[in-house]
Copies of this chain bind each other. A is one copy, B any other.
């Protein structure tokens, strides 16, 4: 066994990094590949030839999943340049492994004919998946390339929302009958010659394609060849409906340590299967989306999207933020008279607002996560509100007390210190209350609690903080 083999994961990691480094730091390399300059125009032709040869060697050595990851880590021009070097036979697999954010860039410059040619190189299940997800205006032409049975399946799958089991399931399954022996199953498998990826079990069906059980590959291997399928199969397997929510299903996969599971329709007929690799993608995407959405970031923007796209996808939250900041500004403006009498208030008010924003964001992050992990049930809400308010009260008294003392000392004004402490306690309590209520109410309204929750809580704690602090100051200090 050579060192090369032993380190294959590390070697591939190094090759990906090298490829990215070559393409991003050697601008002439990318330009040459894109045909913007020809080799003849180059001053340092020999050096460029070497680099080109190395890039080509790397591209042909790296397997499709690694090429997909490399494409995701490149700016648009370099992405195009690399894509041109990927051989036709690999392109389908690369597309399958790449995220949708990258597709537009890759498909952009390909002709429909070239795209159709790529589809021919992948499995039927993968082809169905690609046809569903590729740009809409191509679907018609792409559908025509599929055999009639598969065309019907694409139509069927396209009915389901993107985050449903139906949109993620695979059609290629191996089925057996319950009355045959394990020896017969083994003969059948050898005749088939291959199994779909991540096959850890076969599906046992009765009349009408109805699922009656599952037969693990382990079970086949561990039992005597003479036994019947019905004697050793799992007759009560976990199964899903095509309408099930993918994120919930992911938790069941985790909970039950599943590698694959059957998808059945409302009559118990086997439609297809779900596999762990799709589930892992769901988990990655789900948490990624939650993080982005809390910060007011589009789920569609990738880190290398061009400036114009980033501006387009981010403007909504920026505008929202500007509106809420404007409201906060108007609240302060209402207390102009108070501030003009005691300018110190202007320096102190951001502390009250800031500490509220911090606490509110801690609470809301925790609640959004707990909702996602399905840890919050109707019975718990009162407990959660009381808990967060309790934490806020203690923190308010401790840190508000300290800041009140500091204020007293700095401005030599005990009443100002008292107002500071009281305002901090009140704003922290409000932050805690809203931090629990906002995601709860959004869930009740059927909306995703992660979307923009951070922007919302900050708006409330800012406006509220300014109002509480300046209001108290007006009452007690003037």
Q: Which residues of A contact B (CB under 8 A)?
A: 1, 5-6, 8-9, 13, 17, 20-21, 23-25, 65-66, 69, 72-75, 97, 186, 189-190, 192-195, 197-200, 210, 212, 217-218, 220-224, 235-236, 238-240, 244, 248, 252-257, 259, 264, 268, 276-277, 279-281, 283-284, 287-288, 290-292, 294-297, 301, 303-304, 306-307, 310-311, 314-315, 317-319, 321-322, 324-326, 328-330, 332-333, 336, 339-340, 343-351, 353-355, 357-359, 361-362, 365-367, 369-370, 373-380, 383-384, 387, 390-391, 394-395, 399, 402-403, 406, 454-455, 458, 462, 466
Would A369 and B314 count as touching, CB distance under 8 A? no
Chain B residue nearest to A360 (CB atoms) is B295
Once bound together, how far apart are the Cα atoms of A325 and B213, in whole Å? 62
How distant is A443 from chain B, measured CB to nearest CB, in Å?
A: 14
Contact A303 to B346, CB < 8 A, known contacts A268-B6, A329-B351, A351-B325:
no
The reply to whether B350 and A343 contact each other, CB–CB distance below 8 Å, is no
Residues of B near A359 (CB, < 8 A) are: 318
- Residues in B neighbouring A384, C-beta threshold 8 A: 303
> Do B295 and A197 have beta carbons less than 8 Å apart?
no
Inter-subunit contact A1/B212 (CB<8 Å): yes
Q: How far is the CB of A256 from chain B (nearest CB, A)?
A: 6
Q: Is the CB of B366 within 8 A of A303?
A: yes
CA distance A416 to B288 in the complex (A): 41
The chain B residue with its CB closest to the CB of A240 is B9
Specify which of B221, B253, B379 is in contact with A186 (CB 8 Å cutoff). B221
Shortest 4 CB-CB distances between A and B: which pairs?
A287-B287, A24-B379, A325-B354, A332-B347
Q: Is the CB of B222 within 8 A of A195?
A: yes
Contact status B379-A314, CB under 8 Å: no
A351:B322 contact, CB within 8 angstroms = yes
Residue contact B295 to A362, C-beta cutoff 8 Å: yes
Which chain B residues border A252 with CB–CB below 8 Å?
Answer: 9
28 examples of A-B residue contacts, CB within 8 angstroms: A9-B244, A13-B248, A20-B377, A20-B380, A66-B255, A69-B255, A75-B387, A186-B221, A190-B224, A259-B276, A276-B276, A287-B287, A291-B291, A292-B365, A295-B361, A303-B366, A304-B375, A306-B387, A314-B362, A317-B358, A318-B399, A325-B354, A326-B406, A333-B347, A340-B340, A346-B349, A350-B350, A354-B458
Candidate in A336, A354, A359 with the most chain B CB atoms within 10 angstroms: A354
Contact B365 A297 (CB under 8 A): yes
Please tell me if the beta carbons of B380 and A75 are within 8 angstroms of each other in the complex. Answer: yes
Decide if B346 touches A292 in the complex (CB within 8 Å): no
Knowing that A287-B287, A315-B395 are A-B contacts, what are 5 other residue pairs whose CB atoms are under 8 Å apart, sorted by A's residue number? A8-B236, A197-B257, A276-B280, A304-B380, A326-B403
The CA-CA distance from A399 to B318 in the complex, in Å, is: 8
Taking a contact as CB atoms under 8 Å apart, the answer to whether B379 and A351 are in contact is: no
Tell whether, in the assembled complex, residue A343 and residue B347 are in contact, meaning their CB atoms are under 8 Å apart: no
A294 and B296 contact, CB distance less than 8 A: no
Give chain B residues whose Cβ lies under 8 Å from the Cβ of A198.
Answer: 257, 259
